[in-house]
Structure 1
Amino acid sequence: MTTTFFCNAPKLILEFCTHYETPKVVRFKSTLIAFLSHLTKLLLAIYCILLMLQQDAYQIFDRSPISAVTVKVKDSPNCSHYLNYSCPESRYDAVDFVIPSLENSATSITTRTTETEYVLHLCNKTDFTHQYTCSVKQQCLMPPYYRQLLEKTNQTPPSLCWHQFSPSTKNNYEALDYTLFIKNYVEFPQLHLVRKNLVTDTMRPSYFTSCEYDEKHHRLCPKFRIRKILKLIESKSDEYEQMFHYGSLIEIKIIWKCNLDLSIKKCIPKYEFFRLDMPYSENIFIPGNYFETSRHFYTDEHELRRITTKVYSLRILVTVAGEVGRFDMFQTTTSVGSFLGIFGMGAIICDIVAAYITNFNIVKYDAK
């Protein structure tokens, strides 16, 4: 048998190379199946075309932008009167209330500060905040008089306590009219696209010096008033006032979504605003955004004093996201091939109807 196989091998190879076989096709006359076949193929064709256009399946995308953001805060001579406060002449401006950020693409604007002064004196049982102990001379911050007592080992160190004065509060209502000027440079390296939010090819350079962002009329302006940002992310008046009183976390997202098959002038940024912290009605324990700092100093009377400052601020983060698409022949071919495979569903549906629903005994068919 093995000898016969090897003898017929050349003949089998020649027959394989010179003959072509196709499955038998059965054609039968049925109005229902013919209508169902054409309708199914038409619906699948419409579905594939719409899906291809909706998902931009003919394009290649770059969804990993490289960006750089700078944020500048400027004060305004105007006063909004929004929170029912008077607008006195202030000795401070934006420089005094802007806290340098610890990370890139962020800034903090102080809205309220509370300062409390303490003095270190001998303890009494009626007026002190907490007791101060100093057992190690090298680490002691006590005034010189009490420090000298520690040098005498035979004498017991005095018991000292921090005595608190009345706190003072300073509200920076002018911060509502501060403006943020945001510059953003973004690059999509895969498609070699570099853009900036100062779109001078669409707007004149003089436009950016006088404009102010508005979601309807000035959507391309990179200058944002704090009062406008708070209105966009919070509509409730109570929450609005508490955001200013306790501070808050705010995100400004710059979204780039560009189609390079169209004009490059249509590649413009879109700004969205979000509140990152929880509403105060849901987070009553540690609301807002603040930090505490303190400084020590000696008076002429050799008293050690401490000033503790609690700073409430609006912390604003600027993030960048986006995608850029462009026509690509390989991606188009892959998508078309996938959609052609979907057309096979039409034949499967018609075969199921013909095999299990239509009565073959009354159907006329010709075998080819």
Structure 2
Amino acid sequence: MAAAQPKPTAGTARRLARGCWSAFWDYETPKVIVVKNRRLGVVYRAVQLLILLYFVWYVFIVQKGYQDSETGPESSVITKVKGITSSEHKVWDVEEYVKPPEGGSVFSIITRIEVTRLQTLGTCPESMRVNNATCDSDEDCVAGQLDMLGNGVRTGRCVPYYHGASQTCEVSAWCPVEDGASVSQFLGKMAPNFTILIKNSIHYPKFQFSKGNIENRKDGYLKRCTFHEVSDLYCPIFKLGFIVEQAGENFTELAHTGGVIGVIINWDCDLDLSPLKCNPKYSFRRLDPKHIPASSGYNFRFAKYYKVNGSTARTLIKAYGIRIDVIVHGQAGKFSLIPTIINLATALTSIGVGSFLCDWILLTFMNKNKIYSHKKFDKMVDAPEQSAGPELCASKHSQQDPALMDPRGLAQL
């Protein structure tokens, strides 16, 4: 039978505790091994160089990693349109062709209208564009039926259409319906010369920085200038034709079908430089999907009401136009010690990736990988159980395998 193991005494426990407490304050440093291998050295220095280039060029120069940044400035936009145009029957001014008239960041300029005059409440044939509106007899029309895409409630009668030999179900609605009596008028003849003032102010609260896109002059500068990217950057007065052209669109086509144009103002400001270097950059592009017929174009309806012989009548207008969306975005940055320290620490830490990669190559692919493994890692020798007490917390260096101290192994790498 095996000899009984001695039970640990209180003195042994105290010695164990003191040994562990002493070992807690030991400092251990990794072993450094110099491997004379040209190919491995090239890989190591190449990885270090790539990491340095990434942090110096991309992080610090391109991304300005030494700066604290703020995105999405507080912004206000005020717009004003000027110009007159004419259609086949009248002259149109700003009060009639700009909707809404408040001068916000989103507004529409009407370029074509379909007018249905003298609509009154009564009964009339339904539009042929409405589903199941055509009929051959009264039996095809159900009284009281309401189509949400139609113009009114069906009376149950089948009546002749406005023109041609077709018949549709009669409805109780504003009559005549739009498709039966509308007249088209084009307002876009002089619309390319309309001028649009876009007044924009931005504020970055983190840096207490504010700026506007209009030059501070008192000589009537805005009354005689139009926007030019080089000579008149701070004259935000754009011709409608210029905006459409910069968005890559044909004005006549866009005026007939309608569309949405975005005016994008970008404020990217490096506040380590002079405030004069913080300038707006304008770009223009079409926002609605013109290549998808089902969702391209832009139109809306509104009506003007009046009295005729004591009865209420209205003129229904279906308006096609160019909607302008003014979109403001940007980013400001300024030197800050905290992101600089963080990025420097990340760069210095990342350089260690080269050592990790070369160690992996040595341990996996090199012919002498086992010798390198013995030299890099110290292996602990199991101690007898009876002496395990105080020596459990002993330093690793006192328990190295003497067989691993052979200096010839390193010379073979």
How far 1:254 sits from its partner (Å)? 1.1
CA change 1:205–1:35 in 2 (3 A) is: farther
How far 1:294 sits from its partner (Å)? 4.5
State whether residues 112 and 245 of structure 1, in contact with CA within 8 Å, keep that contact through their aligned partners in structure 2. yes
Q: Does 1:291 align with 2:301?
A: yes
Q: Secondary structure at the match of 1:109?
A: strand
Paired position in structure 2 for 1:197: 213
Q: Does 1:57 align with 2:57?
A: no
Q: Aligned partner of 1:335: which letter?
A: N
Q: Distance in 2 between matches of 1:107 and 1:120?
A: 30
CA change 1:243–1:63 in 2 (3 A) is: same
How far 1:92 sits from its partner (Å)? 3.8
Paired position in structure 2 for 1:259: 270
Number of aligned residue pairs: 321
Paired position in structure 2 for 1:313: 321
% identity of equivalent residues: 27
Paired position in structure 2 for 1:162: 175
State whether residues 29 and 364 of structure 1, in contact with CA within 8 Å, keep that contact through their aligned partners in structure 2. no
TM-score by length of 1: 0.74
State whether residues 220 and 270 of structure 1, in contact with CA within 8 Å, keep that contact through their aligned partners in structure 2. no
Q: Distance in 2 between matches of 1:119 and 1:88?
A: 21
How far 1:188 sits from its partner (Å)? 0.9
State whether residues 259 and 326 of structure 1, in contact with CA within 8 Å, keep that contact through their aligned partners in structure 2. yes
State whether residues 112 and 184 of structure 2, in contact with CA within 8 Å, keep that contact through their aligned partners in structure 1. no
Paired position in structure 1 for 2:114: 114
How far 1:317 sits from its partner (Å)? 1.7
Give deviations 1:207-237, integer Å, cap 9, x for gaps. Answer: 54432224565444311100111111134x4
State whether residues 26 and 366 of structure 1, in contact with CA within 8 Å, keep that contact through their aligned partners in structure 2. no
1:333-352 correspondence to structure 2 within 5 Å: 333-352=341-360
CA change 1:117–1:330 in 2 (3 A) is: same
Q: Distance in 2 between matches of 1:122 and 1:349?
A: 85
Q: Aligned partner of 1:267: which letter?
A: C
Q: Distance in 2 between matches of 1:122 and 1:46?
A: 78
CA change 1:287–1:251 in 2 (3 A) is: closer
Q: Distance in 2 between matches of 1:104 and 1:121?
A: 35
How far 1:34 sits from its partner (Å)? 2.8
Paired position in structure 1 for 2:256: 245
Q: Find 1:22's aligned residue among 29, 34, 38.
A: 29
State whether residues 213 and 222 of structure 1, in contact with CA within 8 Å, keep that contact through their aligned partners in structure 2. yes
Paired position in structure 2 for 1:154: none
- RMSD, matched Cα: 3.7
How far 1:199 sits from its partner (Å)? 4.4
Give the number of the structure whose alpha-carbon radius of gyration is greater: 2
Q: Does 1:228 align with 2:242?
A: yes
Give deviations 1:167-214, integer Å, cap 9, x for gaps. Answer: 3625252322111111111111112111111244xx897654432224
Paired position in structure 2 for 1:359: 367
CA change 1:226–1:27 in 2 (3 A) is: same
Unaligned runs of 5+ in 2: 1-7, 128-142, 144-171, 373-407
Q: Secondary structure at the match of 1:365?
A: helix
Q: Secondary structure at the match of 1:115?
A: strand
State whether residues 88 and 185 of structure 2, in contact with CA within 8 Å, keep that contact through their aligned partners in structure 1. no
Q: Aligned partner of 1:365: which letter?
A: L
**Which structure has the higher relative contact order (CA within 8 Å, separation 6+)?**
1
CA change 1:263–1:345 in 2 (3 A) is: same
Q: Distance in 1 between matches of 2:30 and 2:23?
A: 18
Q: Aligned partner of 2:75: which letter?
A: S
Q: Distance in 1 between matches of 2:121 and 2:181?
A: 13
State whether residues 298 and 323 of structure 2, in contact with CA within 8 Å, keep that contact through their aligned partners in structure 1. no
Q: Distance in 1 between matches of 2:213 and 2:339?
A: 30
How far 1:130 sits from its partner (Å)? 4.8
Q: Distance in 1 between matches of 2:21 and 2:222?
A: 77
